[in-house]
Structures are given as structure tokens and as C-alpha cells.
């Protein structure tokens, strides 16, 4: 500022007031321009929040209803009303939410096995395996149980069951250890001691086995190796459908 120009406090104050008025006026114009969109956004946000809260409430109510229906169905079986229980579980498989539909199917399978109706139980498990909406871990559970049941049927196709079981023996699979043990059972059913030995050897190579499973596999492997040795180093394969004594 030049020396001959003196500061004027009133001028400075006036400039500040004008500047504030300009800012306020611009704000009002912006608010007038964007207010409808802003209000719409707020309304939409509140509507979405309300919708998701409603959906959550509906899901909770549905889950409570499904849980009650499952309890009633299982109570029927407990009281000896097996046919009514099976019918209720079948209906739940069609109408319940996904999680409870799966639970109904698994309970239905268990109840059918208690009735010694293995073909019907296998049909239920097959429906879970083929259902694209079912999560992979549930499919694997159903597959393992299917092979476990089918292997004891008089007309069991051991080669087909072994092929079905193969995906569960992949390294790191949740059912890897149990699948190898079941694979050994299938080999014994076929009379193939060497294949059973290989399966149990692969099983024992898994690092995170439970102690019970490791002990059982080691004991069975020792028995198989002893039988192979007694038969002359290598055991001749029997035709499918002729199990060894160990598999009976």
C-alpha cells in the first residue's frame, strides 16, 4: 500500500460484508439449483435403508418360522410318526429358506436311513449334489455320504463310486482324509489289497490328520500289508463284487 494511502477500517469492513453477501447469495442459488436432487438422494437413501431393514426383518421372521417347522417335523419322528415327519421335511425342502431346506434334506436322509430305505436316502443326497444353488461344502458332504451308503448296496458299482469320490481326494479338500479311507474300503470290497494299501498310504501322508483317524488307518494298513505278505508279496486282484475277508 502506498504511503499516501491510509487504511480505512470502514472500507475493509464494508468489503468483508459485501464478500459475505456474495457468498451467501451464491450458496442460496446453489441450494435452489441442487436442492431437488439432494432431497431425492436423501429420500432414496432413507428408502433403501428402510427396504433393507424390512428385508432383514422378513428374513428373520422366515427363519423363525422355518426353525419352528423343523422342530415340529423332528418332534413327529421322535414320537414315532415317521411318515408325517418325512412328509413335513419334504415340504420344507420345497418351501423353506435355502439353509433350512438343506437341513430338512439332511434330516430326511438320516430318517430314511433309520427306516433302512437306502435308495430313497440316496435320491435325497443326489438332489443336493445336483442343485446348483447348494454351496460346495454341502455338496461335498452329500457326495461323501452318498458313496458311504451306496458302497454297501448289493448292486454297488464300485468303479463308478470310486470315480464319484475322486474330487474329494484332491489335496487340501475338506473331506480328503475320509475320502481316502472310503476309497480303501471300496478297494477292499473289490478284493484289491494293493489299491487299498495305496489309499491308506496316501491317507497317512496327510499332515493334519486327527489322532483317531491316523491310528485307525495305521492299524488297517498293517493288517493289509500282513495279508499281502502272507499271500506272497503282491495280492492278486479279485473281480469286482468279490470282497476280501477284511472288507466283510
Per-residue pLDDT tens over the stretch 1-60? 444 444 455 455 545 555 555 555 555 555 455 555 555 555 555 555 554 555 566 678
CA 219 – CA 223 distance, rounded (Å):
6
Coil, strand or helix at 220: helix
Percent above pLDDT 90 for the chain: 56
Check pLDDT > 80 for residue 231: yes
The whole-number average pLDDT for the span 153-166 is 94
The whole-number average pLDDT for the span 221-246 is 69
The whole-number average pLDDT for the span 158-178 is 94
Least confident of 36-50, 56-70, 173-187: 36-50
If we measure between CA atoms, which residue out of 97, 71, 74 comes closest to residue 85? 74
Q: What angle do CA 181, 185, 187 make, to 5 degrees?
A: 115
Determine the straight-line distance between the first and last CA of the chain, rounded to whole angstroms: 109
pLDDT of residue 100: 87
Least confident of 50-54, 74-78, 127-131, 205-209: 50-54
Check pLDDT > 60 for residue 230: yes
| Residue for grid cell 475320509 | 178
CA 186 – CA 199 distance, rounded (Å):
10
Long-range CB pairs of 44-52, under 8 A, 24+ apart, other chains included: none
Amino acid at each position: 500500500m502506498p504511503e499516501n494511502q491510509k487504511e480505512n477500517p470502514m472500507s475493509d469492513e464494508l468489503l468483508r460484508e459485501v464478500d459475505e453477501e456474495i457468498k451467501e447469495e451464491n450458496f442460496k442459488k446453489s441450494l435452489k439449483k441442487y436442492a431437488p436432487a439432494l432431497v431425492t438422494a436423501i429420500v432414496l437413501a432413507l428408502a433403501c435403508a428402510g427396504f433393507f431393514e424390512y428385508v432383514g426383518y422378513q428374513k428373520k421372521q422366515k427363519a423363525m418360522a422355518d426353525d419352528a417347522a423343523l422342530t415340529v417335523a423332528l418332534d413327529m419322528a421322535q414320537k414315532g410318526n415317521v411318515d408325517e415327519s418325512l412328509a413335513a421335511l419334504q415340504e420344507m425342502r420345497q418351501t423353506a429358506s435355502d439353509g433350512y431346506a438343506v437341513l430338512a434334506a439332511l434330516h430326511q436322509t438320516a430318517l430314511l436311513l433309520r427306516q433302512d430305505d437306502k435308495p430313497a436316502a440316496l435320491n435325497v443326497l443326489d438332489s443336493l449334489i445336483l442343485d446348483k444353488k447348494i454351496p460346495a461344502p454341502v455338496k461335498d458332504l452329500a457326495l461323501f455320504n452318498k458313496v458311504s451308503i451306496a458302497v454297501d448296496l448289493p448292486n454297488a458299482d464300485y468303479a463308478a463310486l470310486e470315480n464319484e469320490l475322486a474330487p474329494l481326494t484332491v489335496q487340501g479338500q475338506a473331506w480328503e482324509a475320509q475320502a481316502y479311507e472310503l476309497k480303501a474300503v471300496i478297494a477292499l470290497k473289490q478284493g484289491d489289497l494293493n489299491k487299498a494299501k495305496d489309499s491308506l498310504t496316501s491317507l497317512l501322508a496327510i499332515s493334519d490328520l486327527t489322532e483317531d483317524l491316523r491310528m485307525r488307518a495305521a492299524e488297517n494298513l498293517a493288517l493289509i500289508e500282513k495279508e499281502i505278505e502272507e499271500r506272497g508279496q503282491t495280492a492278486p486282484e479279485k473281480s469286482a463284487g468279490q470282497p476280501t475277508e477284511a472288507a466283510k
